[in-house]
Protein backbone atom coordinates (compact mmCIF):
# COMPACT_ATOMS: atom_id res chain seq x y z
CA UNK A 1 0.00 0.00 0.00
CA UNK A 2 1.15 3.57 -0.57
CA UNK A 3 2.89 5.21 2.35
CA UNK A 4 0.75 7.69 4.29
CA UNK A 5 2.02 10.17 6.85
CA UNK A 6 0.58 9.96 10.38
CA UNK A 7 -2.18 12.52 9.66
CA UNK A 8 -3.37 10.76 6.49
CA UNK A 9 -3.05 7.33 8.15
CA UNK A 10 -5.31 8.52 10.96
CA UNK A 11 -7.87 9.75 8.37
CA UNK A 12 -7.54 6.44 6.48
CA UNK A 13 -8.20 4.43 9.65
CA UNK A 14 -11.14 6.65 10.62
CA UNK A 15 -12.66 6.16 7.15
CA UNK A 16 -12.99 2.36 7.59
CA UNK A 17 -14.99 0.47 4.95
CA UNK A 18 -17.52 1.75 2.43
CA UNK A 19 -18.92 1.24 -1.06
CA UNK A 20 -17.89 4.63 -2.36
CA UNK A 21 -15.91 7.42 -0.73
CA UNK A 22 -16.26 10.98 -2.00
CA UNK A 23 -13.04 12.81 -1.18
CA UNK A 24 -13.88 16.51 -1.26
CA UNK A 25 -10.73 18.60 -1.76
CA UNK A 26 -8.81 15.47 -2.71
CA UNK A 27 -5.71 17.22 -4.12
CA UNK A 28 -3.23 14.29 -4.39
CA UNK A 29 -5.98 11.63 -3.90
CA UNK A 30 -3.73 9.63 -1.56
CA UNK A 31 -6.66 8.85 0.76
CA UNK A 32 -8.97 7.29 -1.88
CA UNK A 33 -5.99 5.52 -3.50
CA UNK A 34 -5.05 3.90 -0.16
CA UNK A 35 -8.69 2.94 0.54
CA UNK A 36 -9.03 1.37 -2.93
CA UNK A 37 -5.68 -0.42 -2.71
CA UNK A 38 -6.61 -2.05 0.59
CA UNK A 39 -10.13 -2.92 -0.57
CA UNK A 40 -11.71 -0.79 2.18
CA UNK A 41 -13.55 1.19 -0.50
CA UNK A 42 -14.96 -0.38 -3.66
CA UNK A 43 -15.16 2.91 -5.55
CA UNK A 44 -14.05 6.50 -5.02
CA UNK A 45 -14.79 9.98 -6.30
CA UNK A 46 -11.91 12.43 -6.06
CA UNK A 47 -13.28 16.00 -6.13
CA UNK A 48 -11.50 19.28 -6.18
CA UNK A 49 -12.53 22.84 -6.90
CA UNK A 50 -9.33 23.46 -8.92
CA UNK A 51 -8.21 21.65 -12.10
CA UNK A 52 -4.52 21.52 -11.02
CA UNK A 53 -5.06 19.36 -7.92
CA UNK A 54 -7.53 17.19 -9.85
CA UNK A 55 -4.81 16.57 -12.44
CA UNK A 56 -2.46 15.58 -9.60
CA UNK A 57 -5.12 13.10 -8.42
CA UNK A 58 -5.37 11.64 -11.94
CA UNK A 59 -1.58 11.27 -12.22
CA UNK A 60 -1.33 9.52 -8.85
CA UNK A 61 -4.17 7.12 -9.68
CA UNK A 62 -2.37 6.28 -12.94
CA UNK A 63 0.95 5.86 -11.12
CA UNK A 64 -0.57 3.38 -8.64
CA UNK A 65 -2.67 1.64 -11.27
CA UNK A 66 -5.98 2.53 -9.61
CA UNK A 67 -9.11 2.11 -11.70
CA UNK A 68 -12.29 2.48 -9.67
CA UNK A 69 -11.96 6.20 -9.21
CA UNK A 70 -13.77 9.13 -10.86
CA UNK A 71 -12.38 12.66 -10.96
CA UNK A 72 -14.87 15.48 -10.59
CA UNK A 73 -14.24 19.21 -10.73
CA UNK A 74 -16.60 20.40 -8.00
CA UNK A 75 -17.03 23.14 -5.46
CA UNK A 76 -17.79 21.06 -2.38
CA UNK A 77 -20.57 18.55 -3.12
CA UNK A 78 -22.07 20.72 -5.92
CA UNK A 79 -21.30 18.45 -8.89
CA UNK A 80 -21.98 15.18 -7.02
CA UNK A 81 -25.22 13.25 -7.36
CA UNK A 82 -26.83 12.53 -3.99
CA UNK A 83 -26.62 8.83 -3.17
CA UNK A 84 -23.62 8.20 -5.47
CA UNK A 85 -21.34 7.78 -2.39
CA UNK A 86 -21.93 6.48 1.14
CA UNK A 87 -19.05 8.25 2.87
CA UNK A 88 -17.41 11.64 2.37
CA UNK A 89 -14.03 12.93 3.53
CA UNK A 90 -13.36 16.67 3.82
CA UNK A 91 -9.82 16.94 5.11
CA UNK A 92 -6.85 19.26 5.23
CA UNK A 93 -8.90 22.51 5.15
CA UNK A 94 -9.91 25.06 7.74
CA UNK A 95 -12.84 24.20 10.02
CA UNK A 96 -14.87 27.18 8.77
CA UNK A 97 -14.47 26.17 5.11
CA UNK A 98 -15.42 22.56 6.00
CA UNK A 99 -18.54 23.85 7.82
CA UNK A 100 -19.51 25.96 4.79
CA UNK A 101 -19.09 23.00 2.43
CA UNK A 102 -21.36 20.87 4.65
CA UNK A 103 -23.92 23.68 5.08
CA UNK A 104 -24.18 24.22 1.31
CA UNK A 105 -24.39 20.48 0.62
CA UNK A 106 -27.62 20.15 2.65
CA UNK A 107 -28.83 16.53 2.42
CA UNK A 108 -25.89 15.61 0.15
CA UNK A 109 -23.80 15.64 3.36
CA UNK A 110 -26.15 13.32 5.25
CA UNK A 111 -23.75 10.39 5.01
CA UNK A 112 -20.85 9.45 7.28
CA UNK A 113 -18.41 12.36 7.25
CA UNK A 114 -14.68 12.10 7.91
CA UNK A 115 -13.49 15.59 8.74
CA UNK A 116 -9.98 16.80 9.42
CA UNK A 117 -9.87 20.53 10.19
CA UNK A 118 -6.44 22.17 10.12
CA UNK A 119 -7.73 25.19 12.07
CA UNK A 120 -10.96 26.31 13.80
CA UNK A 121 -11.91 22.79 14.94
CA UNK A 122 -13.98 24.47 17.70
CA UNK A 123 -16.06 26.29 15.04
CA UNK A 124 -16.54 23.04 13.14
CA UNK A 125 -17.77 21.20 16.28
CA UNK A 126 -20.14 24.10 17.07
CA UNK A 127 -21.46 24.00 13.51
CA UNK A 128 -22.04 20.23 13.67
CA UNK A 129 -23.80 20.25 17.06
CA UNK A 130 -25.91 23.31 16.14
CA UNK A 131 -27.01 21.80 12.83
CA UNK A 132 -28.27 18.33 13.69
CA UNK A 133 -25.01 16.38 13.35
CA UNK A 134 -23.59 14.08 15.98
CA UNK A 135 -19.90 13.28 16.45
CA UNK A 136 -19.60 9.51 16.58
CA UNK A 137 -15.85 9.39 17.16
CA UNK A 138 -12.73 11.50 17.23
CA UNK A 139 -9.20 10.33 16.43
CA UNK A 140 -5.96 12.17 17.06
CA UNK A 141 -2.59 12.03 15.31
CA UNK A 142 0.79 13.70 15.69
CA UNK A 143 2.74 14.31 12.52
CA UNK A 144 6.06 16.21 12.43
CA UNK A 145 5.34 17.19 16.06
CA UNK A 146 1.99 18.78 15.12
CA UNK A 147 -1.23 17.38 16.62
CA UNK A 148 -4.28 16.82 14.41
CA UNK A 149 -7.90 15.84 15.05
CA UNK A 150 -10.07 13.68 12.81
CA UNK A 151 -13.82 13.92 13.44
CA UNK A 152 -16.30 11.24 12.38
CA UNK A 153 -19.75 12.82 12.14
CA UNK A 154 -23.16 11.94 10.82
CA UNK A 155 -26.50 13.65 10.51
CA UNK A 156 -28.85 12.77 13.37
CA UNK A 157 -31.50 15.47 12.91
CA UNK A 158 -31.19 16.82 16.45
CA UNK A 159 -28.98 19.55 17.82
CA UNK A 160 -26.69 18.71 20.73
CA UNK A 161 -25.78 20.55 23.91
CA UNK A 162 -22.14 21.21 24.64
CA UNK A 163 -19.83 23.15 26.93
CA UNK A 164 -17.11 25.61 25.98
CA UNK A 165 -14.49 22.92 26.74
CA UNK A 166 -16.34 20.43 24.49
CA UNK A 167 -15.84 22.81 21.56
CA UNK A 168 -12.06 22.73 21.95
CA UNK A 169 -11.49 19.18 23.23
CA UNK A 170 -14.54 17.35 21.90
CA UNK A 171 -16.71 15.10 24.09
CA UNK A 172 -14.73 11.92 23.31
CA UNK A 173 -11.40 12.34 25.03
CA UNK A 174 -9.22 9.28 24.46
CA UNK A 175 -6.44 8.47 26.90
CA UNK A 176 -3.74 8.51 24.21
CA UNK A 177 -0.42 10.28 23.74
CA UNK A 178 -1.84 11.93 20.59
CA UNK A 179 -4.82 13.39 22.45
CA UNK A 180 -2.51 14.61 25.25
CA UNK A 181 -0.40 16.40 22.61
CA UNK A 182 -3.59 17.96 21.22
CA UNK A 183 -4.58 19.13 24.75
CA UNK A 184 -1.17 20.73 25.19
CA UNK A 185 -1.68 22.78 22.03
CA UNK A 186 -5.22 23.80 23.09
CA UNK A 187 -3.95 24.71 26.59
CA UNK A 188 -1.15 26.91 25.20
CA UNK A 189 -3.70 28.83 23.08
CA UNK A 190 -6.16 29.09 25.99
CA UNK A 191 -3.46 30.38 28.36
CA UNK A 192 -2.62 33.11 25.85
CA UNK A 193 -6.28 34.09 25.55
CA UNK A 194 -6.66 34.03 29.34
CA UNK A 195 -3.80 36.51 29.70
CA UNK A 196 -5.49 38.82 27.18
CA UNK A 197 -8.89 38.47 28.88
CA UNK A 198 -7.41 39.25 32.31
CA UNK A 199 -5.63 42.26 30.85
CA UNK A 200 -8.88 43.58 29.36
CA UNK A 201 -11.07 42.68 32.37
CA UNK A 202 -13.16 40.19 30.35
CA UNK A 203 -14.88 37.07 31.76
CA UNK A 204 -12.41 34.19 32.24
CA UNK A 205 -14.43 31.29 33.70
CA UNK A 206 -14.81 29.39 30.38
CA UNK A 207 -11.08 29.68 29.65
CA UNK A 208 -10.17 28.62 33.20
CA UNK A 209 -12.47 25.58 32.90
CA UNK A 210 -10.91 24.70 29.53
CA UNK A 211 -7.37 24.94 30.93
CA UNK A 212 -8.39 22.69 33.86
CA UNK A 213 -9.87 20.13 31.44
CA UNK A 214 -6.65 20.18 29.40
CA UNK A 215 -4.47 19.64 32.49
CA UNK A 216 -6.76 16.78 33.60
CA UNK A 217 -6.55 15.06 30.19
CA UNK A 218 -2.78 15.58 29.91
CA UNK A 219 -2.14 13.56 33.10
CA UNK A 220 -0.77 10.01 32.71
C1 LIG B 1 -4.55 21.21 1.56
S2 LIG B 1 -5.40 20.29 0.37
C3 LIG B 1 -5.90 18.86 1.30
C4 LIG B 1 -5.75 17.61 0.51
C5 LIG B 1 -6.21 16.34 1.20
N6 LIG B 1 -7.64 16.36 1.43
C7 LIG B 1 -5.47 16.14 2.51
O8 LIG B 1 -6.08 16.19 3.58
O9 LIG B 1 -4.24 15.89 2.46
C10 LIG B 1 -6.95 21.14 0.21
C11 LIG B 1 -7.60 20.91 -1.15
O12 LIG B 1 -8.97 21.33 -1.05
C13 LIG B 1 -9.34 21.95 -2.26
N14 LIG B 1 -10.52 22.78 -1.98
C15 LIG B 1 -10.57 23.97 -1.33
N16 LIG B 1 -11.85 24.41 -1.28
C17 LIG B 1 -12.61 23.48 -1.91
C18 LIG B 1 -14.00 23.38 -2.21
N19 LIG B 1 -14.87 24.33 -1.85
N20 LIG B 1 -14.44 22.29 -2.86
C21 LIG B 1 -13.57 21.32 -3.26
N22 LIG B 1 -12.24 21.37 -3.03
C23 LIG B 1 -11.77 22.43 -2.36
C24 LIG B 1 -8.08 22.70 -2.67
O25 LIG B 1 -8.08 23.00 -4.05
C26 LIG B 1 -6.98 21.72 -2.26
O27 LIG B 1 -6.60 20.87 -3.32
Q: What is the pTM (predicted TM-score) of this model?
A: 0.97
Q: What is the DSSP letter of 160?
A: -
85 and 63 share one domain: yes
Structural domain boundaries, residue 66: 6-162
Q: Report the residue among 44, 49, 98, 115 best suited for mutation to probe ligand 1: largest number of ligand atoms under 8 A from its CB.
A: 49
Q: For atom 12 of ligand 1, which residue has the closest CA?
A: 25
Whole-Å CA distances, 98 to 33, 148, 161, 184: 22, 15, 21, 24
pLDDT of residue 42: 98
Give residue 23 CA to ligand 1 midpoint distance, Å: 9
Q: Residue 75 pLDDT > 90, yes or no?
A: yes
- Of 120, 145, 162, the residue that ends a domain is 162
**Are 152 and 189 in a shared domain?**
no
Structural domain count, the chain? 2
Residue nearest to atom 11 of ligand 1 (CA): 25
Rounded distance between C-alpha atoms, residue 38 and residue 107, angstroms: 29
Query: Which of 8, 2, 16, 3 lies closest to 142, judged by CA?
Result: 8
Q: Which of 48, 57, 116, 150 is the pocket-test mutation for ligand 1 (most atoms within 8 Å of CB)? A: 48
Asked if 129 and 213 sit in the same domain, the reply is no
Mean pLDDT computed over 30-44: 98
Q: What are phi and psi of 123, to 5 degrees?
A: -70, -40
Average pLDDT, the chain: 97
pLDDT grade, residue 54 (50/70/90)? very high
Cβ neighbours of 189 (radius 10 Å): 15
104 and 44, same structural domain? yes
Does residue 128 surpass a pLDDT of 90? yes
Q: What is the mean pLDDT of residues 200-207?
A: 97
User: When comparing pLDDT for 216 and 1, which is higher?
Assistant: 216
Is residue 72 domain-shared with residue 57, that is, in the same domain? yes
Mean pLDDT within 98-106: 98
* pLDDT > 90? residue 1: no
> Same domain, yes or no, for 86 and 175?
no
Do 118 and 143 contact (CB within 8 A), yes or no? no
Judgement on whether residues 126 and 170 belong to the same structural domain of the protein: no
Kindly state whether residue 1 falls inside one of the protein's structural domains.
no
pLDDT band for 187, please (50, 70, 90 cuts). very high
CA angle 86, 42, 32 (to 5 degrees): 80
Q: Which of 162, 183, 211 is the last residue of a domain?
A: 162
Judgement on whether residues 71 and 125 belong to the same structural domain of the protein:
yes
Same domain, 47 and 58: yes
Looking at 162, 182, 212, the residue that finishes a domain is 162
CATH of the domain at 153: 3.40.50.150
Q: What is the pLDDT of residue 220?
A: 83
For residues 119 and 171, membership in a common domain is answered with no
Give one DSSP letter per residue of 74-135, joined into a string: -STTTTSPTTS-SEEEEEEE-HHHHHHHHHHHGGGG-SEEEEEESS-HHHHHHHHHHTTEEE
Amino acid sequence: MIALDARLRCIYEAAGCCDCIADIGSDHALLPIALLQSGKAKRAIACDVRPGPLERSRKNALKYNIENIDFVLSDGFDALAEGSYDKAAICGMGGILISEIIRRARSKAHCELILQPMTAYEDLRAFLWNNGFTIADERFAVDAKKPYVVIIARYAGENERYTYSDLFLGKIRPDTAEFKAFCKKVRAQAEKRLKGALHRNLPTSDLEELIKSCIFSEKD
